[in-house]
Amino acid sequence: MADTRERNSAPTGSRGLEFRGLSKHYGPVRAVDNVDLQVPRGEFLTLLGPSGSGKTTMLMMIAGFIQPTSGDILLDERVITQLPPERRNFGMVFQGYALFPHLSVFDNVAFPLKVRRKSGADVKREVARALELVQLQALADRMPRQLSGGQQQRVALARALVFTPEILLLDEPLGALDRKLRQEVQIELKQLHERIKTTFVYVTHDQEEALSMSDRIAIVRDGRFVQIGSPAALYEQPATRFVAGFLGESNFIKGSVAEKRSSGFTYSSGGQSFRQQSRANGIAIGDDVLLAMRPEKVGVSVDRPENYANRVSGRVASWNYFGANFHFTVETDELGRIAATCPAWRMAMEPRNEMALWLGWDDDAAVVVKDD
Ligand SMILES: Nc1ncnc2c1ncn2[C@@H]1O[C@H](COP(=O)(O)OP(=O)(O)OP(=O)(O)O)[C@@H](O)[C@H]1O
Ligand SMILES: [Mg+2]
């Protein structure tokens, strides 16, 4: 696949894949609602959102199987909205691997090349290369039913990559695999992307998958993008309540700004006052604020913790052991229920329901989010 690499060493000024004001309406349903997007060449972009948010519709419009109601799709500044799917040269992988059951692994992977009327020698060489990419050279003569789910999914990948597509579109490709296998194929898929540097547009509603594989994640809700950014940016700086709650677990704290400070503000909630760092200028005394705070940023202790900017006491409403972590839900008078996780190796107590606990967190543990 050497020519994939060459083709993807982007000529200067190439902008990759773009949506401009892209919409798809089905009667009153706005499956995709006037979105803009730019995906530079070679990027691994994930579309992450709940069921029915418009992810597949976006992917099918990129592929050319669904015509937009309005707006355009561009590839390197060329409008391709009207271009039929077979002339776009994009590879696709779906959830059900959809291999041809009566064809061997080799013939499944060779299929797109035969459609493109490649010669026998080319087919042999290209299929061997594609199978090597997904490490299935040894299984070329097997039939699909003789393969595990993960192996079948890799054949589907090889089939989508064999004709060196400009873009690879993947719609929940690992959805049918069990958790362990899914994690393995995730790692392989990411390594594959690093090797071939083809643009990947990847659809999932699995947040861990999105966090661990993507260069950038676009959070989709009701046919729109709520926030687009690197996994760490979205996890650490979610812009809205929806993003904070959808990508990982979050506590939400409602407060009223009581005092402004040079590096942030204090807010009151449930009659107690808490400190929060913030560079936001638009916050004024008396404002209502909503804060999102990850459970792993909340410290748990039996004794009152002095080493945090903020603390509150409560009682354990529930706790669970997850091997690596303990997860607590703690009922507090001031803030309602707060979730906290604690690495198991650091636990210095035996957890019990109803036990009294202190929670502590720093003034940079939470972020101010918009309530959407
Ligand atoms: N052919 C159609 N006719 C009418 N409505 C449609 C059609 N296709 C999709 N929709 C609607 O458009 C919206 C977006 O659907 P889409 O399949 O893109 O969601 P999705 O994000 O892929 O969801 P999932 O995670 O469940 O696969 C949904 O409300 C869906 O019901
Ligand atoms: Mg879908």
Please give the biggest Cα pair distance in the chain: 77
CATH number of 250-368: 2.40.50.140
**Pick among 3.90.1150.10, 2.60.120.470, 3.30.70.100, 3.40.50.300: CATH of 2-245:** 3.40.50.300
- pLDDT (tens digit per residue) in 165-193: 999 999 998 887 788 888 888 888 899 89
Question: Cβ(57) to ligand 1 under 6 A?
Answer: yes
Give yes or no for a contact between 352 and 300, defined as CB atoms under 8 angstroms apart: no
Mean pLDDT score of the chain, rounded to an integer? 92
Ligand nearest to the CA of 53: 1
Question: From ligand 1's centre to the CA of 58, what distance in Å?
Answer: 10
Residue 91 alpha carbon to ligand 1 centre in Å? 21
What percent of the chain has pLDDT above 90? 78
- The domain segmentation of the chain, as residue ranges, is 2-245, 250-368
The SS3 call for residue 98 is coil
Ligand 1, atom 22: nearest CA belongs to which residue? 56
Q: Is the minimum distance from the CB of 53 to ligand 1 under 6 angstroms?
A: yes
Please tell me if the CB atom of residue 54 comes closer than 6 angstroms to any atom of ligand 1: yes
3-state secondary structure labels for all residues of 193-257: HHHHCCEEEEEECCHHHHHHHCCEEEEEECCEEEEEECHHHHHHCCCEHHHHHHCCCCEEEEEEE
Q: Does the pLDDT of residue 6 top 60, yes or no?
A: no
Residue among 361, 203, 363 nearest 295 (CA): 361
Q: 235 is written with which tokens? A: 């996890």
The predicted model gives 81-104 an average pLDDT of 89
Helix (H) or strand (E) holding 310: strand 310-321
Q: Is the pLDDT score of 55 beyond 90?
A: yes
* Mean pLDDT calculated for residue range 76-90: 94
Span 246-257, pLDDT tens digits: 999 999 999 999
Q: How far is the CA of 352 from the centre of ligand 1 (A)?
A: 45
Ion ligand 2 — residues with CB < 5 Å = 56
Whose C-alpha lies nearest to ligand 1, atom 27?
A: 51
Q: Which H or E element spans position 339?
A: strand 336-343
Which ligand 1 atom is the nearest neighbour of the CA of 32? 14
Q: Which of 23, 26, 46, 60 to mutate to test the pocket of ligand 1 (most atoms within 8 A of CB)?
A: 26
Are 333 and 270 in contact, with CB atoms under 8 Å apart?
yes
- pLDDT tens-digit map of 275-286: 999 877 788 999
**Pick from 52-61, 177-186, 243-252, 328-337: least confident:** 177-186
26 lines ligand 1 (CB under 6 A): yes
**Ligand 2 center–CA 47 separation, angstroms:** 10
Amino acid at 217: I
State in Å: Cα 52 to ligand 2 middle.
7
131, pLDDT greater than 50: yes
pLDDT at 97: 63
Report the nearest atom of ligand 1 relative to the CA of 220.
21
Please tell me the pTM assigned to this model: 0.90
- Contact of 140 with 105, CB cutoff 8 Å: yes
